[in-house]
Amino acid sequence: MTLIEFLKDQKAKSVKKVTGPNGAFLSIVDKDGEQSTMPIGKKSQEGALADYNVLISEDGQAIATISSYQDGETLQL
C-alpha cells in the first residue's frame, strides 16, 4: 500500500517529514487535529513522500519505506 493510500484510509489531513540527527519520521495530523508519528525505514530516509509505501509490522506498527513488500509463504502453527 502506498503512503498516500494509507493516509487517506486513516483520514489524515496532512503529513510532513521531520529529519533530525538520529534519522527521519513522519508527523501526521488527522481530520480532528490529532497528531501522530510514523517511523521511516533506515534505508529509506532520503525518499520523497510520494514515493513511500507502508509496511505494517507484526506488532501493528506502520513503517514508511521506499521498498515494496508483499506477503510470502505462510505456515499455520
* Comparison of pLDDT for 67 and 25, the residue scoring more: 25
Read off the pLDDT of residues 30-75 as tens digits, 9 standing for 90 and up.
Answer: 999 999 999 999 999 988 999 999 999 989 999 999 987 677 788 8
Q: Which residue has the cell 488527522?
A: 30
Q: Delimit the domains of the chain by residue range.
A: 3-65
Secondary structure E strands in 1-77: 12-20, 23-30, 35-39, 53-56, 62-65
Spatial contact of 64 and 26, defined as CB atoms under 8 Å apart: yes
User: What is the pLDDT, as a whole number, of residue 63?
Assistant: 96
Place 9 in a pLDDT band, splitting at 50, 70 and 90.
Answer: very high
pLDDT of 7 higher than 90: yes
Model pTM? 0.83
Strand partners, 30: 12
